Homo-oligomer: A and B are copies of this chain.
Amino acid sequence: MSFSPLVDRLLEALRVLPGVGPRTAQRMALHLLERERDGGRRLVEVLGTALEQVGYCQRCRTLTEEPTCTLCRSARRDGALLCIVESPADMLAIEDAGGYHGHYFVLHGHLSPLDGIGPDDIGLALLDARLDEGGVEEVILATNPTVEGEATAHYIAEQIRERGLRLSRLAYGVPMGGELEYVDGGTLSRAFNGRLPFQGD
């Protein structure tokens, strides 16, 4: 764009959004300025407020604008289950899948000594305090199935093992609905090693 310095700055600013390149930024800017000024003003207001007010839940560290999130305050969740995830996005994916009705704890990352990310940075002191309260019977270590996620899960398991809680990890195996041909080797050999008795109906 070259006819307005301010519109040029808007194109640049929109590039902060994930997956938005020059063409998409241009389409978004023109859409907002030509047809959606009201919606644009609403976005400015809500995004500004969210950036100012949204912080971490004091109990589970997920994103919320209140001291504790609505999920932590819900009386309908099972207080005996605590699922540890790396990010709010993982938490949302599990919620969307349905079936889990316990609580969460969000690390906002994983241990990464080379990047200077240690136990304090992923909130393990708060996790300890949380477990000190009692009530939790099982901790589900749902970090990502990556080297860093595995290492983080093992570290946490080590830290809380003495509490005598049930510790679990998500099952590994071939994803549902896929074709074996396209499953990577690491996953396939995990699925072989963890094979289960066939249950014909």
- A interface residues, Cβ below 8 angstroms from B: 1-7, 9-10, 12-14, 16-19, 24, 26-34, 36-37, 39-51, 53-54, 57, 62-66, 69-71, 87-89, 91-92, 95, 108
Across-interface contacts of A24 in B (CB, < 8 A): 19
Taking a contact as CB atoms closer than 8 A, the residue among B16, B26, B40, B71 that contacts A16 in the complex is B40
Across-interface contacts of A9 in B (CB, < 8 A): 46, 50
Across-interface contacts of A12 in B (CB, < 8 A): 46
Taking a contact as CB atoms closer than 8 A, the residue among B4, B45, B64, B89 that contacts A63 in the complex is B4
Across-interface contacts of A40 in B (CB, < 8 A): 16, 47, 51
Chain A contact residues: helix, strand, loop or mixed: helix
Cβ–Cβ contact B89 & A27, under 8 A = yes
Q: How far is the CB of A117 from chain B (nearest CB, A)?
A: 14
Q: Can you report 12 residue pairs joining A to B where beta carbons are below 8 Å apart? A: A2-B95, A3-B64, A3-B91, A4-B69, A6-B64, A7-B50, A13-B42, A13-B47, A18-B31, A19-B27, A29-B50, A32-B50
Taking a contact as CB atoms closer than 8 A, the residue among B1, B4, B33, B51 that contacts A66 in the complex is B4
Taking a contact as CB atoms closer than 8 A, the residue among B43, B65, B71 that contacts A14 in the complex is B43
Which residue of chain B has the shortest Cβ distance to A39 in the bound complex? B16
Docked Cα-Cα span, A161 to B69, in Å, equals: 67
Known A7-B63, A13-B42; 9 more pairs at CB < 8 Å: A3-B69, A6-B46, A6-B50, A13-B45, A14-B47, A17-B17, A41-B48, A41-B51, A44-B47
Across-interface contacts of A42 in B (CB, < 8 A): 13, 16
- With A4-B54, A64-B4, A70-B2 as known contacts, state yes or no: A47 contacts B18, CB within 8 Å: no
Across-interface contacts of A7 in B (CB, < 8 A): 50, 54, 63-65
Docked Cα-Cα span, A33 to B170, in Å, equals: 27
Most chain B Cβ neighbours within 10 Å, of A40, A50, A62: A50
Across-interface contacts of A91 in B (CB, < 8 A): 3
